[in-house]
Structure 1
């Protein structure tokens, strides 16, 4: 256990926050600090063909120890953290034998991680938790996944009696800003399929995610003295509000769950002469997804007819539901499910209400379901991860490799 704790803490103390406003890859220079460390660590534990390209994409190989053919599989995680909350000066706290009560993260700021609000905590009574100090995020998303992959590979190197085929690992920058797979070289990676270790609670196994698009709406108004504005003023703020109120109010993140889709306005600013807002569109169903985008276009057309073409919209697809790429090869999900059950983990198969590198990679020719990494409350000061969940994730990775070798024997 201590090895996992020490490795994880060494990673999260390195600030790797990505930046959506940057055009470089990685989007922040500081991501290189962890990338360089990971390259050294992969070499140290005995991995081969360790490479890092000019964009900080890391790949490495654990060679097969068998004399028969086994499909090449991969395990992938990202090392950037979210721009939504500070990742500078992460100071993890280790809570041994959690008693099921409130955890004071920060005495001065009176910040408390409480099962009254975060009831998932009660699942981990008696376990060892790693939390923030209340001033930053933790970075379990996805440094827990990196910890688990490297720990599993080190275990396999040290235990050659466990039979396995060729295994590839990959670590990516900029996943949190939607670019994690953009420059991933699938051909170079050379795996038949892979798994992202990037889920939340222990047992999660996901092969469905949202179809996703972003939109930016810009309104050009006309400012006139309000005392003489009759028939002359065009208030961009009012038109922006009118656009937003036409959207179905019940179809927002706070009012939806499971496979429900939504519209989410996450940024707006404006004056009388100029207003703009940004939103994301999400839906698991491709047809419903297209209808949502069309609704935005229809609203734009309606308001332009009323207000003399003052509204512009830029729509951009971001990623699609990987289910359509994974379902034809469902044996890769079944393998992960069997591995979980073999190590005492109950599989929780459900759709991701978000995206993952795996969704883009699946459409790039690398089918890539998502497996739990163990963390909770990502992207904020209440983030935590049970160490036992990370241990289970390590066991699942090892068992996937072992089971695949067993199933491949005698087939070639």
Structure 2
């Protein structure tokens, strides 16, 4: 069966809104290290890692062995109605890594479900359905998480179980205050936060949910220290802070194990998923005991924290920590940004190179500075032709996203850079 045949079948039976990359969509059938192979036998260096999910790359023996050992017991699933040793052990480990005092952990199957759970817990703990969310954010495809997603392209409905007030501050490149020094920028947006609370809410707000680095929004972020100032205002009103670490967790930002830690803040709750399982379906919430225990009804998670996923997640954390992949993300992320910023001097369409660790956004613009999604699309397609997979995002679809597996080597980093710089050179020549 050809890829064309599979695409026709996909379109016949799956939703129209299910996004596919590339003019000729790709079927990935094998992977090893940082490389994947498509159904036609073509190999690619992967700089997007299944939307940051294959954080350690492909075919990691330690993870495969842990999963096989669990499979060999014959117990893939029991549900949370029974004790699950690996779930308890993983919860203990994440609670300790979180830095949240007396933390509690609840496991889910995805980041959307994790964020949905955190919002429910916050509304229960505060007895309020009022929440604050950030413009240009993305928190998932479930009902409440769509309601707090500040990007119209990913928010399918205006209906929501929550009353949302929108604050800003994460997308500095297109902010009217982008040229302010960090201290003044932070002060300006903290003043806006206070005004939003005072003018658009009844005061008893449940929480503010944030992404330390906005993922789908194009790897945008405020200056370090921003959320420390925000937290001071939240504490005045008793408002909880939820940090969505679905993309920023597990050391990917390089400087810190959790994205929010760059702001010297310990939130009331953090959500996680993606890289924890290196492709296995696992997510969750780690929160203070009062917030986690606020749910006033019985609940379970049928598949969340199942024996198979937690066995793999244990092995993934072991691998990540023992190989100091956070330091590798910091080192190679700096290498990528330095060379790409130099390349931007010869490519006027590349308006901004930003990011932390192995989360890098390339924002493309027209001559007048307006967003240019077609330029981002050209780079996406051309890099694929040259053997490199990247992502696309941003509020206007004009950002190429780079998020290689954290096991990336220096040689692979340079190989990907050479392809990107070649594609940027072609873009500059075309425009």
Q: Same fold (TM over 0.5)?
A: no
Q: Larger helix proportion, structure 1 or 2?
A: 2
Interval containing the TM-score (normalised by the shorter chain):
under 0.3
What TM-score, normalized by structure 2, do the two folds share? 0.23
Q: Larger strand proportion, structure 1 or 2?
A: 1
What TM-score, normalized by structure 1, do the two folds share? 0.23
